[in-house]
Structure 1
Amino acid sequence: MSGQGSSGNVIAALCNVFIPGLGHLIQGRLLAALFFFVSITVGYALYFLIIPAVFAAILHLIAIISAARYKPEE
Structure 2
Amino acid sequence: MSGQGSGGNVIAALCNIFVPGLGQLVQGRILAALVFFVICVVGYALWWLIIPAIIAAIAHLWAIIDAAKFRARL
- What is the TM-score of this pair, normalised by structure 2? 0.98
How many angstroms does 1:2 deviate by?
0.9
After superposition, the C-alpha distances for 1:22-69 in whole angstroms (9 at most, x for unaligned) are 000000000000000011100000000000001100110000000000
- State the aligned residue count: 74
Cα distance in 1 for residues equivalent to 2:39 and 2:57 = 10
Gaps of at least 5 residues in structure 2 are none
Query: How well do the aligned residues superpose, as a CA RMSD in angstroms?
Result: 0.4
Gaps of at least 5 residues in structure 1 are none
Percent of residue pairs bearing the same amino acid type? 69
Match of 2:10?
10
- What is the TM-score of this pair, normalised by structure 1? 0.98
After superposition, the C-alpha distances for 1:1-22 in whole angstroms (9 at most, x for unaligned) are 1110000000000000000000
Q: Which runs of 4+ in 1 moved over 3 A?
A: none
